[in-house]
Amino acid sequence: MGGALILSSIGVSTLLWADLHNRYVWTVLLVTLLFGAIGWVDDYRKVIEKNSKGLPSRWKYFWQSVFGLAAAIFLYTTAPSAVETTLIIPMLKDASIPLGIGFVVLTYFVIVGSSNAVNLTDGLDGLAIMPTVMVGGALGIFCYLSGNVKFAEYLLIPYVPGAGELIVFCGALIGA
């Protein structure tokens, strides 16, 4: 149930400081809060209802899949350019793979896989925050650089308009 305080902090900070017209901000915020709701239901069943198993794994995975697929489909259908649904191969100049509908599949696996990786890390020692802070910081930097036309041109990475705004969410995640 401690996650509720962290998620509240992330939500309030993001709503106060981020551009609320940005589809990326709303997508990551809603996915984070919805996945947090799954965790809250699991903890509620364990603590309040005294059910040691909490929410059954198949239901957790079902709801993660629903929310992950919804986010992936939303990002795919609202992508204004092909660069947003293309897999960029790092360290190779102009190397990319257009994913098409495969973008939805890859995005789904990244969302659900990342969530379960954090759950496994947290279950091992209860200290998932350090890996989360490190990854959130790195992803925030990548988003900022790709969302800034000058940095993107200089670093030869694709420019993705609006991606830089995710630094606010990542900063809220780190600060929570």
Which residues line the annotated binding site for Mg(2+)? 119
Whole-angstrom Cα distance, residue 18 to residue 22?
A: 8
What is the C-alpha to C-alpha distance for residues 91 and 17, in angstroms, rounded to an integer? 33
* DSSP-derived 3-state class of residue 5: helix
Q: Which residues share a beta bridge with 87?
A: 97
Residues placed in the known binding site: 119
What are the residues whose beta carbons fall under 8 Å from the beta carbon of 40, sequence distance 6 or more? 1, 3, 4
* Strand ranges in 43-149 using DSSP code E only, listed in sequence order: 86-88, 96-98
CB 150 within 8 A of CB 171: no
